[in-house]
Structure formats: C-alpha cells, structure tokens
C-alpha cells in the first residue's frame, strides 16, 4: 500500500516539476525570488513552490530573436520580464500614494486600478476551511510574490511547507489515522486560527489599507479545480494509509501466530476498503492457518471475485480444497492459477505435491508429479520445491533420486535457517524414502 502512496505523491510532484517550452518560447527561472537564468526550449525541470518559471513568447516579445546570440537573447528576455514586473510594482506604488481621505476627490476606479491580478484574501480564508491551509498559503504566497513583497512571500512559503508536512505526517501517523480520519477537533481549530491570524489576516488588512481593495480579482475556477482534485487524491491516500496500517499490523500478528488478532485487523481493513483483494486473501490465509478451511475458501473466493486474474488466490484456495479432501476442485484451482501465470512456481509445486502424496490413489500420478515439480525447481530452486520433487520421485518409484533430492532439500533448508520442527519433517520423509516407501499426506 505504501508503494501506491509513494507513486501517487511522485506523480503529483512530477506533474508540477516538469514543464515544456516550445521552440519559440524561453523561460526565465526565478528561485526564491532570485534570477537563476534563461532555460529552454524543450523539457525543463523546476522545483515546485520554490521556483517560478516565467514563459516568454519570443515571436511576440522579441521578433528578432533568431538573429541574437545566446547571451544577447538572455539579456533581452531578462529585460522584458523585469520591465513588466517593475511596471506592475509601480502601479501598485501609485495606488498606495492615493489620498486616503474619502472627502477628497479620487479618480474613477478604472483609472487607478493596477494591471495586476490577485486573489481576494477573504474568500481564500473561507476556501481554506475546506481545502486546508495549504491551499490558502499557496494563494497567499502567489499574491505576495505578484506584489513584489519578498519578506511576506517567504513567510507564506514557510506556511506552505508547514501545511504540507502536517498533511503528509497525518498519513503516516497510522495508529491515530486508523481509528479516526482527522486529528482532534481542537487541534484543527487551533492550527487554522494560528494560520489565519499570522498569514491570511495580515494580507487582507494590507489589501484594504494599502490597495484600498482596488485590483483585478483573479478567477477561482482553476485553483478550486486543482484543489478539489488534490483533496480527492488526499482522501484516497488516507484510505490507502489506513488500509496499509491494518494490513501491516495484521501481517505482524500472522507472523507471530496470533491469527485471531490478524483476522480482526484484516477485517477492519476490509471495512475501510471492501475491494481490497489483498486483505481478503491474507485474512483467508489466517483462517487457513487456524484450520478453518471454509472461511479461508470464502475469503479466497471473494478475492477472486474482485480480481478474476488473481493467480495467488486460486493457488491458495486449491490448498484449502485439498485439506478439505475436495481434490477435484483443488486440481482445478491449481490449473487455473497456471493458466493465468504459466511461470507460477508455487502452483506447479502444489499440484505436484497433491499428485505425489494424495491419500486417494485415484488422484496420484507419479510421472506427472515429477514433471510439475521439476518445472517448479527450474523456476525457483527452493528447499520446499526440492522436497516436493523428492516426494514425486518416490511416488514414481525412483527412490534413489528421491533420497538424493531430499538430502539436497535438507542441506538447503539448514542454510535458510528454518525451525528444527520443519527440518524434522524433511528428515522423516527422507527415512520413508530410504525404506522405499512413498510419502502420503495425512
């Protein structure tokens, strides 16, 4: 689950970091308000939030651009961008100098309004209640930067980073998130109030006292659309994080043999995401280890219903059918798993084991078991697969091969550091083969 979360965050970061400049375009790159240089054309990388890329259409702004050297073109681009920025700042300064005595004459608004577009800070505060202070901090930062207020912009940038860290940290505080989708209400209120008083309110006051609320108001369609998409993505990440927490905790309990706790945690993960095929199959595995094959089969079947191409679910369900004595269904599930994934070593191994050790003679087939077990070993040379191959040799009457293969399996198992109980099972089967007896599953 965490891999999915990482991929989602990576995609969001790359979409903001990768820019494309056409042949007739160049970009003047600012980093923390300072000019880095002219970049482009082609694919360029910027640092989201910290960098600002100002695109310049050379065909319109610098018609003779093809005749200029690289150094001359860079200087002309800087001049174009800086002259436009200075023009905007000058207009703002003129507006500040307008007399504030309302009894004196003022020219019409359209004569003093600067040609600079800003977002109204009052709606920013309201929308931030829905889209979090990260949304408001970003727009506030862009307003200050457009006004040329570097110190205030830096303060807003700090709030962007704080808000982003809070949101990311919330995803990874799994113990709290797993029981409650939001922090304590008092904590939320306190965070928003501190943000409002230290960042949003000062800008609203500045707009009122210094700009007289006279500026071109930017439209809200694009930022609200992006914020809505981000909010949906964030809630998806929350679900992924919660399900990941329960699955991780359940996996821990399964590893230590506490299958009841494992089942309880997998059940909670399923409640959060009823389409989580992994939660179903691993809860089924916990049921299987408890010996409740009916419940295990039910969970494996649900995983298959969600994902009909889930080879692992067919393979594990085949094992459960085998333990219930329904060998026809077991063989059918193993074959289905191999149909989906012809290189699935576990399915080859499990089918070979059934054909070699089945207590019902009607299902045993030594030659076929050897063929399948050899394929499993060829794909993945593990001690368990060698153990199955030895059992297949014994069923086929090749006891010398069975003894040699089982000894290899025991040696490999000892290297893997498995429990003594597990190795004892291997040794017990080896003694059967030395007595020219095939192994029968009980």
Q: Name the more confident of 65 and 380.
A: 380
According to the model, what pLDDT value does residue 424 have? 86
C-beta separation of 409 from 429 below 8 A: no
According to the model, what pLDDT value does residue 343 have? 93
pLDDT-derived band of residue 430, with 50, 70 and 90 as boundaries? very high
Which residues lie closer than 8 Å to 438 by C-beta, 6 or more apart?
356, 357, 366, 391, 394, 395, 432
Q: Name the more confident of 94 and 308.
A: 308
pLDDT tens digits, residue range 206-246?
888 888 877 888 888 888 888 888 888 877 776 666 666 66
Q: Is the model's pLDDT at 304 over the cut of 90? A: yes
Q: Is the model's pLDDT at 171 over the cut of 80? A: no
C-beta separation of 344 from 313 below 8 A: no
Both tokens of 293, joined, read 């094959």
d(CA 270, CA 279): 6
- Around 151, how many Cα atoms within 13 Å sit in the side-chain half-sphere? 1
- Measured CA to CA in angstroms, residue 354 lies from 208, 297, 305, 331, 338 at distances of 81, 18, 25, 8, 15
- Measured CA to CA in angstroms, residue 367 lies from 343, 373, 391, 399 at distances of 20, 10, 11, 13
Both tokens of 28, joined, read 């003047």
Mean pLDDT of 323-348: 95
Q: Is the model's pLDDT at 142 over the cut of 60? A: yes
pLDDT-derived band of residue 363, with 50, 70 and 90 as boundaries? very high
Burial of 61 (0-12, 13-18, 19+ CB in 10 A): middle
Q: What would the DSSP string read from start to end of 158-221?
A: HHHHHHHHHHHHHHH-HHHHTT-SS--HHHHHHHHHHHIIIIIHHHHHHHHHTSTT-SEEPPSH
pLDDT-derived band of residue 294, with 50, 70 and 90 as boundaries? very high
pTM score: 0.53
């Amino acid at each position: 689950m965490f891999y999915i979360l990482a991929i989602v965050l990576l995609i969001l970061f790359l979409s903001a970091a990768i820019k494309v400049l056409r042949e007739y375009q160049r970009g003047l790159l600012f980093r923390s308000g300072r000019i880095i240089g002219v970049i482009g054309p082609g694919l360029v990388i910027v640092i989201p939030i910290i960098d600002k890329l100002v695109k310049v259409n050379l065909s319109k702004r610098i018609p003779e651009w093809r005749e200029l050297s690289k150094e001359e073109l860079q200087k002309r681009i800087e001049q174009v961008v800086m002259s436009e920025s200075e023009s905007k700042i000058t207009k703002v300064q003129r507006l500040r100098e307008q007399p504030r005595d309302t009894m004196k004459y003022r020219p019409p608004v359209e004569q003093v309004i600067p040609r600079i577009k800003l977002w109204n800070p009052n709606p920013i505060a309201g929308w931030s209640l829905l889209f979090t202070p990260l949304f408001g901090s970003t727009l506030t930062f862009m307003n200050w930067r457009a006004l040329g207020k570097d110190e205030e912009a830096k303060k807003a940038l700090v709030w962007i980073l704080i808000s982003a860290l809070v949101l990311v940290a919330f995803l990874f505080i799994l113990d709290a998130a797993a029981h409650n989708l939001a922090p304590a209400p008092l904590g939320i209120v306190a965070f928003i109030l501190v943000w409002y008083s230290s960042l949003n309110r000062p800008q609203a006051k500045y707009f009122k006292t210094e700009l007289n609320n006279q500026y071109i108001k930017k439209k809200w369609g694009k930022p609200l659309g992006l914020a809505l998409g981000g909010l949906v993505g964030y809630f998806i990440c929350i679900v992924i994080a919660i399900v990941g927490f329960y699955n991780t905790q359940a996996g821990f309990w399964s590893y230590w043999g506490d299958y009841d706790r494992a089942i309880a945690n997998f059940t909670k993960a399923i409640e959060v995401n009823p389409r989580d095929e992994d939660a179903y199959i691993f809860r089924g595995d916990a049921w299987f280890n408890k010996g409740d094959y009916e419940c295990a089969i039910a969970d494996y079947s649900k995983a298959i219903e969600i994902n009909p191409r889930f080879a692992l679910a067919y393979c594990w369900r085949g094992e459960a059918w085998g333990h219930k004595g329904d060998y026809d269904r077991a063989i059918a599930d193993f074959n289905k798993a191999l149909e989906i994934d012809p290189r699935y070593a576990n399915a080859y191994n499990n089918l070979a084991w059934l054909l070699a050790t089945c207590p019902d003679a009607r299902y045993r087939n030594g030659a076929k078991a050897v063929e399948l077990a050899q394929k499993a070993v060829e794909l993945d040379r593990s001690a368990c697969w060698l153990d199955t191959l030895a059992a297949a040799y014994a069923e086929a009457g090749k006891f010398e091969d069975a003894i040699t293969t089982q000894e290899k399996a025991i040696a490999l198992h000892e290297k893997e550091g498995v429990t003594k109980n597990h190795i004892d099972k291997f040794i017990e089967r080896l003694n059967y083969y030395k007595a020219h007896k095939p192994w029968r599953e009980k």
